[in-house]
Structure 1
Amino acid sequence: MMAEVAYIGGYTPDTDGTGPGITLVELGSLARLGETAASGPSFLAVHPRLPVLYAVGESERGTVAVFARADDGALTPLAQRPSEGSAPCHLAVDPSGTLLAVANYGDGTVSVHGIDESGLLTEVTIFPYREGAHAHQAVFGPDGVLYVTDLGTDEVRRYLVDGQVRPHPDGPVRLASGMGPRHMAHFEDHWYVAGELDGTVRVYDDGWHEMRAVPASATAGENHPSHLEVSGGLVYVGNRGPDTIAVLSPLTLDPVAEVGCGGVWPRHFAFAGDRMYVANQRSGGIAVLALKDGIPQADGEVFAVGTPSCVLPSN
């Protein structure tokens, strides 16, 4: 059985272009287990069935790298191919483990790669988009649709993935102008979306009718929400600027709590057991926040690492 570990991706901190790439840490002890070279691995994903990890390479000529995962979590490079776009910042594997979707932020394209029985990438389908588009997150919905937030066009783009990948006949979902949708999550027939540009969290029904919009933070000043996730029946969002994690109730989005993120510029977070792990990009560390009745509690425990942008716990 694989050790209880976390993979940390981010941006190279060194001026000469070298750096640790993907860092492996043991959860609990926070022992650094190793580092695997990778170029700009700003977001990571694991295969749902195979011991394989995927990483985007966020550069002008984007890449997608494939790694084998050993029983102790260690990574071995298997392959690398173009992401078919610039500055890829997110990727996701569909539940069946046969497709990998990549959001290319730089030119707004979306690429969908086939995955073979060994976890390697095969054919690719590329979806271009108009000027000004910035694809930010790819999510496979429970309805078999691939959803992609587009921060540049205030849309959620939709693609059918039933046998072949193609644009949804109903087109994209139009969201509030100036919202800048970044990350989103589905929970109990509703979608929750963080607006990076207008500092909001919005909830929609499955027909994409907006039900409510609230500020992502109660703190005065500029805020650029980052990652959003639903866990244990609560909505969590990272706030860059206030440097907090906000906790909201589902549907109503009433504030439950807002706590310090344990660092500066919370780019991403993830849950493992009774802990939240926050990738604080500008303070160079993963903050460990204990959860008490679902509320994060910062106690100062931090795993120091470069400029983290993604933390991915995995057994």
Structure 2
Amino acid sequence: MNKDSKIYIAGHRGMVGSALVRALEKRGFTNQLTRTSKELDLRNQAAVTAFFEREKPEYVFLAAAKVGGIVANNTYRADFLYENLLIESNIIHQAYQVGVKKLLFLGSSCIYPKLAPQPLKEEYLLTGLLEPTNEPYAIAKIAGIKLCDAYRDQYGCNFISVMPTNLYGPNDNYDLKNSHVLPALLRKFHEAKEKGDQEVMVWGSGTPLREFLHADDLADACLFLMDNYNEAGLVNIGVGEDLSIKDLAYLVKDVVGYEGRITFDTTKPDGTPRKLMDVSKLNAMGWKASIGLKEGIRKVYQDAFIEKEELKASN
């Protein structure tokens, strides 16, 4: 990509998309193309067609998606499958139609089988059953990977796919009904500290193992792959290390400064027992994550809770 290349970031207001915008701006890319969901409904084929024909972007980062945690995925199963299929199909097809030079599709680590060997290698895709609670979302993301490969095979399109591990960072979702585990824990512990509650209840047994990558590290990896990867298949993006939800809860407790106790509600689902990405393929290309987990959580907590409350108090 050149500094003046027209680059479309689909989903620029989300955690991943906004991280891509920041990364591109930091590197001096001056011709970013963005649209809010009100300005462009990516589920609408005619609207997406008109947008691509009018703007003709040279590069596309496909970060737009309907996302959520276990509760949202398991409750709105049809919505997660239908809407994500529409979004990725419309964008990938129009990228082909207008001759986009390169497209990067962002998937999710939930594409891998629930009981796949650990760490998760790229070749484990479609080798077993998916985790039932987020199967519709995973199927939609798998379809996106296969769409990119199919357009590459049939039309020679340079469309690539990346699979990030669990993410956190600026512009995350802190809604307790729809958020992922790390932002949910941050909000729970912060509110418990503010209210003086003596206990925080964490969903599940605390035993599942998870890996967490800062969104800014993901954006950096995506720009690296846009410059250095031009093959079919997918590339895992992660840190290559995980920890239990229990250990994560105590880490968040420490960052927030909460002094009460933690209990675990074992009646709630745990989800996949472990999801650790094998990032040897990406590391071999020369990229590694640089933001430590405690450092990243501390910065996110400062930005999302402390600074916002200080701003409210000053107004």
Using the size of structure 1 for normalisation, the TM-score is: 0.28
Greater strand share, structure number: 1
Greater helix share, structure number: 2
Using the size of structure 2 for normalisation, the TM-score is: 0.28
Find the structure with the greater CA-based Rg: 2
